[in-house]
Amino acid sequence: MKVLLATACGAKKNKGRMPAIDLYKSSRIKAVNNRRNGADFAVLSAKYGLIYPDRVIRDYEKILDPKGVKKLTPQVTEFIKTYDLTVFFKGGSREEYRNLIKNASEILNKPLIMIGNRNQEDIGKLEELLLRCTKGNLDKIDLIAPSIETYNLS
């Protein structure tokens, strides 16, 4: 199964133009990237939409709002189109980021799994979840962590 692992961007950024993984100072982004366990990884940016960590971008100041969700939905939809499943680590992300990834998944009728609570306690469950997802074993995945939400799973 081709799986995309994504998480929201971070508010604190380095200055200048650099790969996204280096631009964001968020320890959450780096921790999620380090646990991708065979899945592709992307950051959901308030300015750029979904981007791979090696994409070179410039620092920016932008907070995702409902208007931004509407604007970025086509880009995010196009990005996830080639994946069988998206796993979104939502730990600490704003509602707009969760709505954006959910809207794009619904448009394509693609499966989406969201995991992570505000304190990011479920980050340790991410590797197990991704291993099962890449093997196509989606049976009872909601038992892996209490924060898991599933959408469009058959």
Q: What percent of the chain has pLDDT over 90?
A: 83
* 99 and 151 Cβ atoms separated by less than 8 Å: no
Instruction: Please report how the helices 66-80 and 95-108 are oriented relative to each other, as an axis angle in degrees rounded to 10.
Output: 40
CA-based nearest residue to 104, from 64, 74, 65: 74
pLDDT of residue 117: 83
pTM of this structure: 0.95
pLDDT digit string, tens, across residues 110-152: 999 999 987 777 888 999 999 999 999 998 998 999 889 999 9
- Domains of the chain, start order: 3-151 (3.40.50)
**Ranges 90-94, 100-104, 119-123, 124-128: which has the least confidence:** 119-123
Q: Who contacts 99 (Cβ-Cβ below 8 Å, separation ≥6)?
A: 66, 69
Mean pLDDT of the chain: 94
